[in-house]
Amino acid sequence: MRYAIPVSGGVVSPHFGHCEHFALIDVDELTKKIIRKDLVTSPGHQPGLLPEWLAEQGASFVIASGMGSRAQSLFQQNRIGLIVGTTETDPEKAVQSYLNGELAVGNNICDH
All domains in the chain, ordered by first residue: 2-99 (3.30.420.130)
Cα angle: 11, vertex 101, 27; to 5 degrees? 65
**DSSP letter assigned to residue 18:** G
**First-to-final CA distance of the chain:** 29
> Is the pTM above the cut of 0.95?
no
Closest C-alpha among 52, 68, 55, 48 to residue 24:
55
Span 34-89, pLDDT tens digits: 999 999 999 988 877 899 899 999 999 999 998 888 888 999 998 999 999 999 99
The helix/strand/coil state of 71 is helix
